[in-house]
Amino acid sequence: MNANVIEILSAEELRRTVTRLASQIVERSNDLSELVLIGIYTRGVPFAHLLASQIELLEQIQVPVGALDITFYRDDLDNIGMRTPAKTEMPFDLTGKEVMLVDDVIFKGRTIRAALDAIADYGRPSLIRLAVLVDRGHREVPIHPDFIGKTLPTAKEEQVKVYFNEVDDRDGVELIKVM
């Protein structure tokens, strides 16, 4: 099986996108001292850390970052197969906080639905928003991101691969078309 790989975002374009998203998050935040970023494993976590670093550069305020594994909250485990869960790291109570859920790609919306269920175990936020690097469409649940780095209409059989230096030793986004 052959695959056609198309670069969607270079490392530099990814950096600029993170900067833009961080600026938008700052602008729309009600109170930066109440903002927390929660990255969804796997690549939502390094993305959340990149956003937090950029917000700190812009506003000189450290935004806490958590990491959320949603494996046991999924409704489609029979379709995706068994996974070894990662360790959720939520070093703060979410009650009254402005939560920014962060993920690399939104597709059907099921991961975000599961993340919303999981968040309820960690407190009752005053507000939950969603930031994604790539929105590729094809929603199966009524979820729409508040912050989108790149809208990329795709065919269902295509794949979007996000690479972060912390995980993959390079930065970028690719569209993979299987031939």
Q: State the pLDDT at residue 76.
A: 62
User: Does residue 155 sit in helix, strand or coil?
Assistant: coil
Average pLDDT estimate for 137-152: 97
Q: What is the pLDDT of residues 61-100, one digit of tens each?
A: 999 999 999 988 867 655 656 667 788 999 999 999 999 9
Indicate the helix (H) or strand (E) that contains 117: helix 110-119
Distance, CA of 70 to CA of 23 (rounded, Å): 27
Phi-psi region of 137 (alpha: psi -120 to 50; beta: other; left: phi over 0): left
Mean pLDDT of the chain: 94
% of residues, the chain, pLDDT over 90: 87
User: Does residue 62 sit in helix, strand or coil?
Assistant: coil
